[in-house]
Amino acid sequence: MSNLEKYDAVIIGAGNGGLTAAATLARGGAKTLLLERHNIPGGCATSFVRGDFEFEVALHQLSGLGTEKNPFIMRKIFNELGVMDKVEFVEEHHLYRMTIKDEFDITLPASWKGIREVLIENFPDEEQGIKDYMLLCERVVLESFMGFKAALKMNSEDMLMKNSKHYAEYGLRSAKSVLDKHFSDEQLKTLLAAYWCYLGQAPRNINFVDLAMMLYAYGVFKPWHIEGGSQALSNALLESFLEAGGEVQFNAAVDQIITDKSGDKPKVIAICTEHGDVYETEQVISNASSVVTFVDLLDTDELPEGISQDFKSREIGTSAFCLYIGLDCPPETLGIKNASTFMGTTMDEDLMVETMATLNPPVATMLTCYNVDDPSFAPPGKSQVSLLCLQYGKVWDDVPVEDYADTKYAFAEHLIEQAEEFFPGFRSHIEEIEVATPLTMQRYLNTPGGSIYGFIQNPEDGEIHRPRYDQVEGLHMAGCWQGMGGFQPTYMVGQSTAKAVLKKLKAQRLAEQDQTQTQDVKEPANV
């Protein structure tokens, strides 16, 4: 081991949470080191090149940006991070098309009013329910940000019941129960619950507020993606970090978080990389999975008490099986008219979720074609598509390594068959294809089971039940393992975690200054 430099803060991992944390710290004046085990920043938010195509790995729809006229929180955050002038955002014009075999085929526009119109047009008998439901979504979402937060801050039951009564009444109910309350048409319920797959749990196992949030946020503030893919934003964040004096190392996994165990709580003093380099620091922000961080990296003999307790009620969340496909034709040749399509052969969401834990043919898949809104995603006349279904990593545990390749191709065939059914001719236009399994996700993200959203997001896994870890002094988590998965949540948690660390560093500096000043004053007195 060689002892090297000392840093104000070290960040483990350059995924969304790590990058926003790193940029925030460096721009806030902290001497920061970012260590990433892969050769490129981004984690999920990345791309790779095959033939004529640069494939977007993860970002389907970025939320939280809002338009220039009607901006939302991510615009402010990206501004603060210094990346607004480094990337171009592309607005998508549809929420999604949902098509279920022998049932329905409906496309929702990216507009709150437009959604209402399309829903009423297709389900005229449910007009009142639709109006009530959408109003409830709006109220619950807004209250969760404002009335509820204020009540919590003031610890006031009065305020809670007055300013966030819809949230209190419906926010934590299951999404399914609220849908059932408003509608009798199963098709309508299925259509409105489509975004469940961004959370990875069936509607009966997600909080209404989380489903409402997605419909409202994408409906009002639009879905977006990024020119050049999410990799462009990852690279921009890194650039902003470097411009502010940050230092980065790729191909440099952190192997150990070293603590001083003499006090009540273990206290971070250094980290050690796979190359045996040791960097001193008292503040570590980990973007790696919390299981890896505490079980594998932290050098204590046992898990800190509170962590152990929290982990006991957790389960590893879903991964994805994903085909990255380059087509030799433009989207319209195959009748692809909007960016995001949810396809399925059933309306039974429980069956969809059960299938995620097997290698059976998926009953629900998602197809995203970026070229619909952004022709620059492929060379002229071609297009890029990602075709995926959610899947748990553990289904691969029993596949012998020598059967891995055959098994993944066989499973890929199921997805292609489904695409072929909704987009006839699909297969014959495939020019380039790369198959990613949960094991691929695990390899590139270093997450147990290849999880892409962190722990399973049951209602009882919401932030409201899960305080931030503070069992190790100087060790902070930033990423989808504390809080929600997805782009917006991980960008936000990275920034807020780093801001808290900056505050600590500042307080520490002031305290040190105080000390030297008192010493300065004392010394002459001694003379």
Partner 1 sequence: MSNQYITNKEQLLSNLVGYVESRELIAEREKIGSDFSEDKGKNTAEIAKLHPKRLNLEVTEIFQETPSTKTFRVRSARGALPPFQAGQYINLFVNIDGVETARPYAISSCPTHRDYYDLTVKIVKGGFVTNYLLNDVEVGQTFSATSPIGTFYYNPIIHGKKLVFLAGGSGGAPARAMIESVLSRGVDADFYLVYGNSFAEDVIFQDTFRALAQKHENFHVMEVISRPEEGYEGLTGYLTGELINEAVSGVDEVMFYVCGPTPFNDFCKSELKALSVADKRIRIECNGPPKNPSSIQNWPTEVSEEEMVTVKVRGKGEFKAQVGEPLLNSLERNGYFVENACRSGECSLCRVKLVEGEVFNPPEAKLRKSDETFGWVHSCVAFPTSDIEILY
Ligand X SMILES: Cc1cc2nc3c(=O)[nH]c(=O)nc-3n(C[C@H](O)[C@H](O)[C@H](O)COP(=O)(O)OP(=O)(O)OC[C@H]3O[C@@H](n4cnc5c(N)ncnc54)[C@H](O)[C@@H]3O)c2cc1C
Chain positions 217 to 276 lying near ligand X, rule: CB under 6 A, are 253-254
Q: Does 295 bind partner 1 (CB under 8 A)?
A: yes
Q: Which does 43 bind (CB under 5 to 8 A by kind): partner 1, ligand X, none?
A: ligand X
User: Which residues, 185 to 214, sit near partner 1 by CB under 8 A?
Assistant: 207
Contact 207, 172 (CB under 8 A): yes
Task: Say whether residue 402 binds partner 1 (CB under 8 A).
Answer: yes
Helix, strand or coil for residue 5? strand
60 binds ligand X (CB under 6 A): yes
List the alpha helices (DSSP H) in 385-485: 404-422, 438-445
Long-range contact set of residues 187-192: C-beta below 8 Å, sequence gap at least 24 = 187/100, 187/103, 187/104, 187/123, 187/347, 188/119, 188/122, 188/123, 188/126, 188/130, 190/98, 190/100, 190/103, 190/347, 190/349, 191/98, 191/104, 191/106, 191/108, 191/119, 192/119, 192/133
Work out whether 483 is an interface residue with ligand X (CB under 6 A).
Answer: no
Subset of residues 69 to 128 that bind partner 1, contact rule: CB under 8 A = none
Region binding ligand X by CB under 6 A among candidate stretches 301-309, 445-453, 500-508, 519-527:
445-453
Count CB atoms within 10 A of the CB of residue 523: 9
Residue 299 sits in the site that holds partner 1 (CB under 8 A): no
According to CB under 8 A, which one of 432, 473, 496, 504 is a site residue for partner 1? 432
- Which residue, 278 or 430, has its beta carbon nearer to partner 1? 430
Q: How far apart are CA 18 and CA 22, in angstroms?
A: 6
The secondary structure of 349-413, three-state, reads: HHHHHHHCCCCCCCCEEEEEEHHHCCHHHCCCCCEEEEEEEEECHHHHCCCCHHHHHHHHHHHHH
Candidate list 487, 492, 502, 505; residue touching ligand X; CB under 6 A:
487
Nearer to ligand X, 92 or 126 (CB): 92
455 binds partner 1 (CB under 8 A): no
Q: Which of the stretches 6-14, 93-101, 231-239, 415-423 binds ligand X when contact is defined by CB under 6 A?
A: 6-14
Out of ligand X, partner 1, none, what residue 58 binds, judged by CB under 5 to 8 A for its kind, is: ligand X
Residue of 476, 462, 526 lying closest to 504 (CA atoms):
476
Strands 89-91 and 277-281, bridge-based pairing: unpaired
Residues 407-426: x where in contact with partner 1 by CB under 8 A, - otherwise, as a string: --x--xx--x----------
Is position 38 an interface residue for ligand X (rule: CB under 6 A)? yes
Q: Contact positions toward ligand X, by CB under 6 A?
A: 12-18, 35-38, 43-45, 58-61, 253-254, 287-288, 292, 320, 322, 388, 441, 445-447, 452-453, 479-480, 485-487, 490
